Structure 1
Amino acid sequence: MAEESGQAGGRLVDVELDETIGRATPDIEHERAVAIFDLIEENVFDPVGAPPGGRFKLKLSLADKRLVFDISSEDGTPLVRHILSLTPFRRVIKDYFMICDSYYEAIRSATPQKIEAIDMGRRGIHNDGSRTLMERLEGKIAVDLDTARRLFTLICVLHWRS
């Protein structure tokens, strides 16, 4: 398993989303920007078979209803491509979108207690999706929970855009 601190293992130094999918709403684009910034600042990312302590670039895209992880070295040399089925993510992404809609609606008019309750549910669903991602990446890329959370956010952004 990868180091929790992100200091000893490999790490991402650049993350790119497939821009051919198009742009999303300002709220979603803000989520994307924050997730990428946070991901670059602190992450654990160790592709199996890559040099220990490597620095990597990642391009995330969707192709034929599959999630594509294109990983290259810091200098841009392609290293590996992992293609994951989106089937295990469909339910959690659908639930996450529904609760996010409720959350954004609640921000406009609900009590702070109601907003907090919805946000707790939103974080719980997000954690479920992050754990699913960690399971799907097992044996391919070692990541910690914080890295998986930020990557899951980006996967959701790809869905919102497409």
Structure 2
Amino acid sequence: MNPPALPRLIGIELDDTLGRAAPHIENERAVAVADLIEENEFRPNGAPDGPYRLKLSTSAGRLVFDVRDEGDAPLVVHILSLSPLRRVLRDYFLICDSYYEAIRSATPSQIEAIDMGRRGIHNDGSELLRDRLAGKIEVDRDTARRLFTLIGVLQRRV
């Protein structure tokens, strides 16, 4: 008897045509991918039961979720405008820059305050992403947070 199919991701591939990002951004990407594969809830509407592979890319100002089955056969593609996410991504990038700068020279309490703000903006972005995916792909809060991180990596290459 086969185990039940899982509504989860078992593989993530990011668009690499944009080239490599700065080391700290590449590190964020690697951690987010590893965390996402380790634990996630991912259910594309209209697709058969998982597990799934995801090819995440951007094209012409749009975010492309290319969902595939375990054997990498295409299942469904969802394309979202990046426009609703641009403001929160911009704010997130600004506070991340402040955080990385603070690590070099700020006091622990200053770093903690900036990190709290960074987490707050990250939460806002992940909730906005969940809203944008509603009716297309069902994800839990932690999965949305990790996907938001990956979207940030796709948008920020320096």
Gaps of 5+ in 1: 1-7
Percent sequence identity over aligned pairs:
69
CA–CA distance in 2 between the matches of 1:58 and 1:157?
A: 15
- Aligned counterpart for 1:60 among listed residues 42, 45, 56: 56
How high is the TM-score relative to the length of structure 2? 0.95
- Tell me the SS of whatever aligns to 1:152: helix
Paired AA for residue 146 in structure 1: D
The 8 Å contact of residues 9 and 46 in structure 1, kept in 2 or not, is answered as: no
Per-residue Cα deviation, 1:5-50 (whole angstroms, up to 9, x for no partner) = xxx9500000010010110000000000000000000000000022
**Deviations 1:64-83 (Å, cap 9, x if unpaired)?**
01100000001111001110
Residues in 1 aligned to 2:102 and 2:44: alpha-carbon distance in whole angstroms: 40
| Structure-2 residue corresponding to 1:161 | 157
> Which stretches of structure 1, 4 residues or longer, exceed 2 Å deviation after superposition?
none
Q: TM-score, normalised by structure 1?
A: 0.93
Q: Equivalent residue for 2:29?
A: 32
Aligned with residue 91 of structure 2, among 85, 88, 95: 95
Structure 2: give runs of 5+ residues left out of the alignment. Answer: none
- Looking at structure 2, the residues matched to 50 and 92 of structure 1 have their Cα atoms a distance apart, in angstroms, of 30
Instruction: Tell me the residue number matched to 1:112.
Output: 108
> Alignment partner of 1:19: what SS?
coil
SS at match of 1:59: strand
The answer to whether the 8 A contact 1:44-1:147 is kept is yes
How many residue pairs match? The answer is 155
The match for 1:5 is none
Structure 1 residue 51: deviation in Å? 2.5
The answer to whether the aligner puts 1:126 opposite 2:134 as a matched pair is no
Partner residue of 1:44? Answer: 41
Q: Is the 8 A contact 2:126 2:144 kept in 1?
A: yes
